[in-house]
Amino acid sequence: MHTPINLVVLGPPGAGKGTQAVEFAQRHVIPKISTGDILREAVQSGAELGQRAKATMDAGGLVEDELMIAIARERLNRDDVKSGFVLDGFPRTVTQATALDEIMTGRGSLVVVDIAVPDDALVARLARRRVCGQCGHATSLDPTVEARCERCGGELVLRSDDTESIVRERLRVYAEASRPLVDYYSSRPTFRAVDGDQSPAAVGAAFSEAVDAILAGMPAGSGIPEEAGA
């Protein structure tokens, strides 16, 4: 049997988690689960979850652990994740990571890749990011080209939390609440960090290499790395 790839993508706001997660999930035909997308969809549809989360998201803060863990648990218990998944934006706190370990009990190891990028590059990137109001595709704004979505032709808009002051707040919150996740995972044989401060294609290649290196250490079918399983 194929080893399921249970992949967690870590990294600060704008690191390219979504960009790499979409690419990887499409290539491996596994679902990409983005808690940010789940929350934004709920905001857009007017669902109760969105009403609870919107103010926190717009201020650059983190939605409470209990709610996010419930969302992740429900999503990870659906049938389509049996052959693997890519998690983008969860976990974001050590409390969420501990809950994820519990959710994954008996389901094989997590493969964890951290995309590292310096803060100044992130602020510049997010100032250029526009998302399609129709299909949600994210792109970097090219000022010389008329701003329409390259995939569906929809209108490109600035995400409500991508203004410079909110981006700085998101980076502060990341440093305080989410960077400790690197320590939480880094001693595991299934963790790798990649340099995210290079072209998207170069990050993609480093990302795939990191996942391949981790999977090479796992006996086929078990989802358990050699060192940890020994």
Residues marked active site are found at 17, 92, 129, 159, 170
Of residues 128 and 188, the one with the C-beta less far from ligand AP5: 128
207 binds ligand AP5 (CB under 6 A): no
Would you say 210 and 194 are in contact if contact means Cβ atoms under 8 Å apart? yes
Burial grade of 31 (CB within 10 A; 0-12, 13-18, 19 or more) = middle
181 binds ligand AP5 (CB under 6 A): no
Residues 153-172 that bind ligand AP5 (CB under 6 A): 161, 170
Of residues 205 and 213, the one with the C-beta less far from ligand AP5: 205
Query: Cα–Cα distances in Å, from 105 out to 98, 102, 158?
Result: 11, 5, 39
11 binds ligand AP5 (CB under 6 A): yes
96: helix, strand or coil: helix
Q: Which of these segments, 75-83, 87-95, 183-191, 213-221, binds ligand AP5 (CB under 6 A)? A: 87-95
Q: Which of 154, 189, 200, 217 binds ligand AP5 (CB under 6 A)?
A: 200
Query: Following DSSP, what letter does each residue of 177-230 receive, concatenated?
Result: IITHHHHHHHTSTTEEEEE-SS-HHHHHHHHHHHHHHHHHTS-TTT---HHHH-
Of residues 15 and 30, the one with the C-beta less far from ligand AP5: 15
- How far is Cα 132 from Cα 154, in angstroms, rounded to an integer? 6
Nearest residue to ligand AP5, using CB? 36
Q: Which positions lie near ligand AP5, rule CB under 6 A? A: 11, 13-19, 35-36, 39, 56-57, 60-63, 68, 89-90, 92, 96, 125, 129, 138-140, 161, 170, 196, 199-200, 203
